[in-house]
Chain A
Amino acid sequence: MASSKRFQDRAGRAINRDSFIDEWPETGLILFHSPHDPTPQIRVENGRIVELDGAPEAGFDLLDRFIARYAIDCAVAEEAMAMDSAAIARMLTDIHVPRREVVRVCAGLTPAKIMDVASRLNVVEMMMALQKMRARRTPSNQAHVTNRKENPALLAADAAEAVQRGFAELETTVGVSRYAPFNALAILIGSQTGRGTALTQCAVEESLGLRLAFLGLTTYAETLSVYGTEQAFRDGDDSPWSKAFLASAYASRGIKVRFTSGTGSEALMGHAEGHSMIYLETRCLMAVKGAGSQGVQNGSISCIALPESLPGGVRGVLAENLIAAMLDLEVASGNDAMASHSEIRKTAKLMLQFLPGADFIFSGYSSMPREDNLFGGGNFDAGDLDDYNILQRDMQVDGGLRPVREPEILAVRRRAACAVQAVFREFGLPPVSDGEVEAAVIARSSADLPDRDVVADLEAAGEFLNRGRNGLDVIRALARNGFEDIAAKILAIQKLRVAGDHLQTSAMVLPGPRVLSAINDPNDYQGPGTGYRLSPERWREIASVPQAADPRTIGAAAAAAPLLEEAGEARAGLDPREIVIAVGPAFGGTLDATLLGLPHRDVLEALIAGIEEEGLKARVVRICATSDCGFIGHAGAQLSGSGISIGIQSKGTTVIHRRDLEPLDNLELFPQAPNLTLESYRVIGRNAAKYARREPVLPVPVQIDNMARLKYIVKTTILHLRETEQVTPGKPPQEVQIIAADERE
């Protein structure tokens, strides 16, 4: 069989490097409704759940037991379970049903029922539901800050930049776990350097994570993983009870906690027990709720490519975010791990969380290039930040970030790197050199940083932890070295821990620090005009990207001296060897070059040269009453002795016209001025002459440039506006003389 070249092309596309498989329910490779999933059911006796999704209490596994005991509101369970799943699904999208009522009903549902409800929604309905159901009204975003060399100056600089860009939480981790205290320290300092403020965390083994938090080196914890089957939970070396205790332990020290779950983890671990991914994820989320966590990061997280390999996988991942919100949990909605080779697919997937908004749209946007991402993530990374800012501006959506200018970024990066240098010096840690600071300020990635003495660093990091260096030591070291501003902000962040306001659901910190959470910023979405709306200030901030030029300055520079001089009203020519070149009202006057920047003088000379090469004569007239290319050409043709004219606008768009044609008809039209070179104009002149001689004419070949319109439409619009400004209605065409170049001196 002959193979199609188009199929070959597509086979080489990024999308075809992704993996795709059919469903295999027995192993858990299915999003919704595995044949092995239970049927929704509950029985409550004396305020105690004695049957859950078809299982009697005696047959409960560890998760059933935990969910039945802690996660379901027995007071509403029977009422809620009696409702039709489709009716509950409609409540989710019905703007007349407030979030609070949906939360009340969902609190009484079993895992199988919640999956069934979610499965009734299409992807747009899920987005509508997430917009209404996320706990905090204002959306926000979280960044990953790591690097392969674990360089503290670079970590601090990247943290400072991330906060400057608007990230409300920063998550670091380690390549070598003994680096943890230094990495936590570096992003703590960086996070408090710029205009804003952020909570920080260091993802490490639970006990070490707890120690860092106790020492005040981190302010939240996120990686408390839960799983949807008992065996997967055991493989994770935890039980729902140990996680619940851990959550309380963090809270007892004023540390914000968020759990982690996500579709696909159980199948990946070989313990899905034939259940669908969303059923198991719902069990996870109910364990999270039962443990008393305020929220969760989910959206498949590091397993994302597994649900994405299956039919409906991306929709399923949105469903898990939504289910978390239905359970009244904060949701940090994933988008962190590599989800596709295809930029189209990645962006399409992102839109499902970006458009409705989540408490944290990413649970780790890679604020540095992905090769420095020690989470192995970086689905969107530093290189995509301009794209992201433009998406916010396009959709008029708050994705949590703000456009920035280079000088402010360089300034905060330098300040943060210098602060880390000073703290290392003060603590007697292996020095951070001036060279490291300089490199960290402008680095693209850690490849631009000198290598550190890893052995010395690790030894010092161990010593740092053993001596119990804490947040206050850091504050003192900063203040003693001229960084009182950062010291004061770190103290303010530590003070959060005394009040505990950031322990409430969906808490984020604003400069101040001021805590914004589902308590003082509850999502009150109930249709147009309600819920989160961009304030005029925030919209201005999102709209003002540094790339945006002031349109008033485009093409504004007037010609130094005019090229053409008007010499009275143009008369009709009688010479059959004459071609009229009809120029637009601004040509060679207030405008002096085409879209591509070709000087009008050169263009005119090329046209004339072409005409003369064919032995004909050119006469130049200016059309004053219109700026339209067709009408300019048409008006010129009426005056032309041969009946043939070349009409040209100032921006360079050209037409070959003939007296008897309708204004918008033509012999040849060259609508894409950017593709016209001086040579093209010369050939246009020659062709016009050939038409006048009634010879057969080969139309001027024109390149196809699909990007021309995209690249030049703004300039086209503005040059055309400027030409149109010069139109004088009713003014007849004018004879013009070309002012010789040397006369302009």
Chain B
Amino acid sequence: MKEDRYPLAEKQPHRLKTPSGLAFDQITLEAVLAGSITMADLRVTPEALELQAEIARAAGRTQLAENLGRAAELARVPEDLILRIYNALRPGRATRAELERLAAQLEKDYQAPRCARLIREAAEAI
């Protein structure tokens, strides 16, 4: 199947926004120098990640699509929490209960069911 949506930056730039709502073509050097763009603007949005997940899935890449779907959830999660969860998932760092709390937090505070499921499955496996 021919993928005519991709690359998004070329084929569908109108569907791309920064997390603060700026349009893709508003990200210019002038705007950066004028101080109207911050690093937080130069981030992928959950919506763009979901689009990329769809494209990966259409190409038959289920696992990559799942990963991009989890990434879409994490796009809203602050970096220190991401690092905390990552470290908790490393061997011997956290108990099942601690992992369950992190999963619940992701689900409740960040509407991140796919990440929560991954964490629960990790907890089950240890």
Q: Is residue A715 within 8 Å, beta carbon to beta carbon, of the partner chain?
A: no
In residues 76-92 of chain B, which contact A (Cβ within 8 Å)?
77, 79, 82-83, 85-87, 89-92
Are A291 and B63 also in contact (CB < 8 A) when A251-B71, A472-B38 are? yes
Flag B33-69 by CB within 8 Å of A: 1 or 0 each.
1000111011111001101100110011111111110
Instruction: Determine whether the beta carbon of A500 is less than 8 Å from that of B64.
Output: no
Residues of chain A within 8 A (CB-CB) of B121 are 69, 241
Flag B90-126 by CB within 8 Å of A: 1 or 0 each.
1110000000000000000000000100110110011
Residues of chain B within 8 A (CB-CB) of A239 are 89-91, 122, 125-126
Instruction: Determine whether the beta carbon of A252 is less than 8 Å from that of B71.
Output: yes
Residues of chain A within 8 A (CB-CB) of B10 are 514
Residues of chain B within 8 A (CB-CB) of A250 are 71
Are A500 and B8 also in contact (CB < 8 A) when A249-B82, A254-B44 are? yes
Interface residues on B, range: 35 or more
CA–CA, A494 to B9, complex, Å?
12
Q: From the candidates B27, B49, B71, B73, name the one contacting A491 in the complex (CB within 8 A).
A: B27
CA–CA, A505 to B52, complex, Å?
11
Instruction: Determine whether the beta carbon of B125 is less than 8 Å from that of A66.
Output: yes
Are A291 and B67 also in contact (CB < 8 A) when A239-B126, A515-B7 are? yes
Are A500 and B48 also in contact (CB < 8 A) when A488-B29, A519-B59 are? yes
Are A252 and B63 also in contact (CB < 8 A) when A62-B125, A476-B33, A487-B29 are? no
Stretch at the interface among A11-19, A208-216, A532-540: A208-216
Return the chain A residue nearest B13 by Cβ.
A499
Instruction: Determine whether the beta carbon of B90 is less than 8 Å from that of A242.
Output: yes
CA–CA, A470 to B41, complex, Å?
12
Q: From the candidates B59, B72, B85, name the one contacting A245 in the complex (CB within 8 A).
A: B85
Closest Cβ of chain A: how far from B35's Cβ, in Å?
9
Residues of chain A within 8 A (CB-CB) of B72 are 252
Residues of chain B within 8 A (CB-CB) of A519 are 3, 6-7, 55, 59
Closest Cβ of chain A: how far from B36's Cβ, in Å?
11
Q: From the candidates A498, A505, A517, name the one contacting B27 in the complex (CB within 8 A).
A: A498
Are A100 and B32 also in contact (CB < 8 A) when A244-B67, A253-B44, A504-B6 are? no
Instruction: Determine whether the beta carbon of A251 is less than 8 Å from that of B55.
Output: no
Residues of chain A within 8 A (CB-CB) of B13 are 499
Residues of chain B within 8 A (CB-CB) of A500 are 8, 44, 48-49, 51-52, 68
Closest Cβ of chain A: how far from B15's Cβ, in Å?
9
Flag B10-37 by CB within 8 Å of A: 1 or 0 each.
1001001110000010011100110001
Flag A104-134 by CB within 8 Å of B: 1 or 0 each.
1000000000000000000000000000000
Residues of chain A within 8 A (CB-CB) of B48 are 498-500
Residues of chain A within 8 A (CB-CB) of B66 are 70, 292
Flag A450-487 by CB within 8 Å of B: 1 or 0 each.
00000000000000000000111001100110001001
Q: Is residue A731 within 8 Å, beta carbon to beta carbon, of the partner chain?
A: no
CA–CA, A499 to B12, complex, Å?
10
Q: Is residue A246 within 8 Å, beta carbon to beta carbon, of the partner chain?
A: yes
Are A207 and B87 also in contact (CB < 8 A) when A216-B42, A292-B70, A499-B16 are? yes
CA–CA, A550 to B6, complex, Å?
44
Closest Cβ of chain A: how far from B94's Cβ, in Å?
10
Return the chain B residue nearest A488 by Cβ.
B29
CA–CA, A496 to B7, complex, Å?
10
Closest Cβ of chain B: how far from A295's Cβ, in Å?
9
CA–CA, A225 to B82, complex, Å?
19
In residues 228-273 of chain A, which contact B (Cβ within 8 Å)?
233-234, 237-239, 241-242, 244-254
Chain A interface, DSSP helix/strand/loop, else mixed: helix
Instruction: Determine whether the beta carbon of A248 is less than 8 Å from that of B90.
Output: no
Looking at A233, A518, A520, which has the most chain B CB atoms within 10 Å of its CB?
A: A520
CA–CA, A500 to B19, complex, Å?
13
CA–CA, A250 to B66, complex, Å?
14
Q: Is residue A345 within 8 Å, beta carbon to beta carbon, of the partner chain?
A: no
Q: Is residue A103 within 8 Å, beta carbon to beta carbon, of the partner chain?
A: yes
Residues of chain B within 8 A (CB-CB) of A237 are 90-91
Closest Cβ of chain A: how far from B95's Cβ, in Å?
14
In residues 592-634 of chain A, which contact B (Cβ within 8 Å)?
none
Instruction: Determine whether the beta carbon of A253 is less than 8 Å from that of B43.
Output: yes
Closest Cβ of chain A: how far from B22's Cβ, in Å?
9
Residues of chain B within 8 A (CB-CB) of A216 are 39, 42
CA–CA, A487 to B115, complex, Å?
36
CA–CA, A211 to B91, complex, Å?
21
In residues 77-119 of chain A, which contact B (Cβ within 8 Å)?
100, 103-104
Instruction: Determine whether the beta carbon of A71 is less than 8 Å from that of B32.
Output: no
Instruction: Determine whether the beta carbon of A242 is less than 8 Å from that of B77.
Output: no
Residues of chain A within 8 A (CB-CB) of B59 are 504-505, 518-519, 522
CA–CA, A491 to B65, complex, Å?
27
Residues of chain B within 8 A (CB-CB) of A249 are 71, 74, 82, 86
Residues of chain A within 8 A (CB-CB) of B38 are 472
Return the chain A residue nearest B39 by Cβ.
A470
Residues of chain B within 8 A (CB-CB) of A103 are 60
CA–CA, A70 to B91, complex, Å?
19
Return the chain A residue nearest B35 by Cβ.
A476
Return the chain A residue nearest B17 by Cβ.
A498
Residues of chain A within 8 A (CB-CB) of B28 are 491
Looking at A244, A254, A501, which has the most chain B CB atoms within 10 Å of its CB?
A: A501
Would you list 6 pairs from A and B whose C-beta atoms are within 8 A, ordered by A residue?
A70-B63, A207-B87, A238-B90, A292-B64, A498-B17, A505-B64
Given contacts A241-B89, A248-B70, A499-B9, 14 further A-B contacts (CB under 8 A): A239-B89, A242-B86, A245-B85, A246-B86, A249-B82, A251-B67, A252-B73, A292-B64, A487-B29, A496-B9, A498-B27, A504-B56, A504-B59, A520-B6
Residues of B within 8 A of A (CB): 3, 6-10, 13, 16-18, 24, 27-29, 32-33, 37-39, 41-45, 48-49, 51-52, 55-56, 59-68, 70-75, 77, 79, 82-83, 85-87, 89-92, 115, 118-119, 121-122, 125-126
By Cβ-Cβ distance, the 7 closest A-B pairs, closest first, are A292-B67, A241-B122, A251-B71, A252-B74, A242-B89, A254-B44, A248-B70
